[in-house]
Amino acid sequence: MMVFHYPHRILPRFFYSATSNFPSFHSHHFLLSFPSRFLSLSPTCNAVTASVATKSPLAVPGQLQLDAHHHRKLPDEHLIEIPLEKLFVPPEVQFPPETAPVARGRILKGSNIVLGSYSSDAHVSTAEFVKSSTCSEECPADGLPEFALVGRSNVGKSSLLNSIVHRKRLALTSKKPGKTQCINHFRINDSWHLVDLPGYGYASAPKELRINWDGFTKEYFLKRKTLVSIFLLIDASIPPKKIDLEYAGWLGQNQIPMTLLFTKCDKRKKKKNGGKRPEENVEDFLNLIQESFREAPPWIMTSSVTNLGRDEILLHIAQLRNYWLKN
Ligand SMILES: Nc1nc2c(ncn2[C@@H]2O[C@H](COP(=O)(O)OP(=O)(O)OP(=O)(O)O)[C@@H](O)[C@H]2O)c(=O)[nH]1
Ligand SMILES: [Mg+2]
């Protein structure tokens, strides 16, 4: 068995301490009996809540020009009520503000992320492929801050990367799982990296090769000093999967900063996925991981088809990156 050592590195204050009694994700009972206490889709949630869908235009600092569709009101069915303690509040941000309407206007749409003062330069003007690597030593040595996309094969990592950078085919995508096989670095605005990674779980590649991908991906997570946050992609069109819960658990146990990006939120095939809508699957996933993390990880609902969440991801990246650079 491969043993990884937690490296000595200075991380920004964006990581989530895993609780000491990590629940066993092997237990089916755990999955079934986990109580849903904190998140509610009900408009009559008892907790003090903030709606993730902003009803008034967002006050956006910095240079990002939001698309016209961004300000459109989401249908009620997309609303998730979040208690204030489950919001992700970036460092150096005072929250909650005194009045509820202000609070609502500062939460990024379709997420639990509070917008702070570090979100400047959230636009993409250039994006280019840099190189493919198979271990952390081979990765670019320019010291730029980076964000890596990981998730099950076929969850939509490469598609979301293309959506984030406003390009159709910068990262290669496929209907067939197992398309991305290396650590692929893309340089954005000559100032930060987005990293596309091979997926875990099912892939139409030999088992030995998949074990190898898992090994070098985790080695990269543990050793890469410029890694600001992992983006763990979770398919919101299907109910929570054990393998994803285990992966989130592994990241938490190793104190690796994580943001959850829920993908395929445009898919609404009711019969096939047990009748649940994407926002219900999101709620179920968040309920299942909540006891593993002392603080709520940031999360964003996305779709590469409609570009839902694209602007919010860029603002989130900007505020993590700017804080990381300053510290
Ligand atoms: N409906 C819908 N389909 C999506 C979305 N994102 C990706 N897909 C589809 O899902 C399939 C896999 O997408 P990829 O982006 O290649 O997935 P990946 O996670 O990079 O896959 P690997 O590289 O094999 O690990 C493709 O057929 C995409 O068109 C989405 O937001 N909505
Ligand atoms: Mg891929």
**For residue 147, what pLDDT is reported?**
97
Q: CA–CA separation, 284 vs 103, rounded Å? A: 25
Give me the CATH number covering residue 319.
3.40.50.300
Predicted ipTM beyond 0.95: yes
> Hunting for tokens 């092997």 — which residue is that?
26
Q: Could you tell me if residue 112 is inside a domain? A: no
Amino acid 215: pLDDT: 82
Does the pTM of the predicted model rise above 0.90?
A: no
Residues 6+ positions from 189 with CB-CB distance below 8 Å: 121, 123, 124, 125, 126, 127
Is residue 200 included in any domain, yes or no? yes
Beta pairing class for 146-151 and 183-188? unpaired
Distance 227 CA to ligand 2 centre (A): 19
Measured from the CB, is residue 156 less than 6 Å from ligand 1?
yes
Does 44 map to a domain?
Answer: no
Low-confidence ranges of the chain (pLDDT < 50): 1-77
SS3 (DSSP) at 173: coil
List pLDDT tens digits, range 286-325. 999 987 787 889 999 999 999 999 999 999 999 999 999 9
* Nearest bound ligand to the CA of residue 177: 1
Q: Separation of 275 CA from ligand 1 center, angstroms?
A: 21
**Position 91 in a domain:** no
pLDDT at 70: 42
- Residue 196 CA, closest ligand 1 atom number: 20
**Confidence at residue 194, expressed as pLDDT on a 0 to 100 scale:** 97
Residue 158 phi, psi dihedral angles, 5° rounding: -65, -40
pLDDT recorded at residue 86? 86
pLDDT at 212: 76
* Phi, psi for 275 (deg, rounded to 5): 85, 0
Does the C-beta of 70 come closer than 6 Å to ligand 1?
A: no
> Domain for residue 24, yes or no?
no
Closest CA to 83 of 280, 296, 300: 296
Range of the domain at 175: 117-326
3-class SS of residue 83 = strand
Answer yes or no: is 142 within a domain.
yes
Query: How far, in Å, is the centroid of ligand 1 from the Cα of 102?
Result: 36
pLDDT score, position 294: 77
The total of structural domains in the chain comes to: 1
Residue 314 contacts residue 123 (beta carbons within 8 Å): yes
237 lines ligand 1 (CB under 6 A): no
Q: Does ligand 1 come within 6 angstroms of the Cβ of 264? A: yes
End-to-end CA distance of the chain, in Å? Answer: 36
So what's the pLDDT on residue 63? 33
**Ligand number nearest to the C-alpha of 261:** 1
Residue 17 domain flag: no
Question: CA neighbours within 13 Å on the CB side: how many for 286?
Answer: 32
| Alpha-carbon gap, residue 62 to 245, rounded angstroms | 35
Q: Are strands 227-235 and 258-263 parallel, antiparallel or unpaired?
A: parallel
Ligand nearest to the CA of 152: 1
The CB density around residue 24, as the number of other CB atoms within 10 Å, is 10
Q: Is 93 helix (H, G, I), strand (E, B) or coil?
A: coil
Q: Supply the pLDDT for residue 292.
A: 76
Whether residue 201 has its Cβ less than 6 Å from ligand 1: no
Q: How many CA atoms lie within 13 A of 110 on its CB side?
A: 29
